[in-house]
Copies of this chain bind each other. A is one copy, B any other.
């Protein structure tokens, strides 16, 4: 039995009951060590299998091995397990090896939803998620999606916006998006949603300082109706008030 669990942005309050139940019922907890640290209180003396960044495939293989031994295993992802999380990888491995292991996907609050709640209501209308990481996706696919999403005037949530190894992606993304979106459109930046050091900033598209953005940050770019009131970023749904 493998639970593929989304733990939400970080704090217990944003976890679901199903997530906590799945962690409690599991004998082995498998995850990226940063996320293991976030859920320490639910682990106690359970067996833990953890490793570092880019160790996703090994982690999932380890989880499957433990499940084959008859153990109940929880594989954790931050946010939702099904959005750039471990759900796909676990199911791909199960598919490939044609394994008979029960899998339960346990959803969670993804980073865009957590960040949006901190900012106000920026994703109240049609929106998309685009990851700027080209580790697994060709950069030309990412560029095409950025262009078409901007042309469609989606609210755009950027995941993995900027890392040490990919410092220029965010600026390049803004150049592509800037062809279709006005420089005055609000952009929300939230770092460490629901974790220690939570940081929030709302700026105009043209005024963003890319240096404030790192891998723990979600960037939400408004649509042409998005506005700012005091410290809130709001995308109207279209009601006539």
A residues adjacent to B (C-beta < 8 A): 8, 12-18, 21, 56-57, 80-85, 87-96, 103, 105-110, 113-114, 116-118, 120-131, 135-137, 141-142, 144-145, 148-149, 151-154, 229, 232, 234-239, 241
Specify which of B17, B94, B116, B235 is in contact with A13 (CB 8 Å cutoff): B17
User: A130 near B126 (CB under 8 angstroms)?
Assistant: yes
User: A16 near B18 (CB under 8 angstroms)?
Assistant: no
User: B109 near A108 (CB under 8 angstroms)?
Assistant: yes
Please give the distance in Å from A144's CB to the nearest CB on chain B: 6
User: A121 near B87 (CB under 8 angstroms)?
Assistant: yes
Q: CA separation between A154 and B126, bound complex, in Å?
A: 13
Residues of B within 8 A of A121 (CB): 82, 87-88, 90-91, 105
User: B91 near A57 (CB under 8 angstroms)?
Assistant: no
User: A237 near B21 (CB under 8 angstroms)?
Assistant: no
Q: CA separation between A238 and B92, bound complex, in Å?
A: 10
User: A116 near B82 (CB under 8 angstroms)?
Assistant: yes
Residues of B within 8 A of A8 (CB): 16
Residues of B within 8 A of A57 (CB): 239, 241
User: A89 near B232 (CB under 8 angstroms)?
Assistant: no
Q: CA separation between A88 and B231, bound complex, in Å?
A: 14
Please give the distance in Å from A143's CB to the nearest CB on chain B: 10
**Which of A13, A57, A117, A239 has most B Cβ within 10 Å?**
A117
Residues of B within 8 A of A125 (CB): 84, 131, 137
Residues of B within 8 A of A15 (CB): 16-17
Residue of B nearest to A234 (CB): B91
Starting from the known contacts A17-B17, A82-B124, 10 additional A-B residue pairs (CB-CB under 8 Å) come to A15-B16, A16-B109, A80-B116, A83-B127, A95-B234, A103-B232, A108-B113, A136-B237, A136-B238, A144-B152
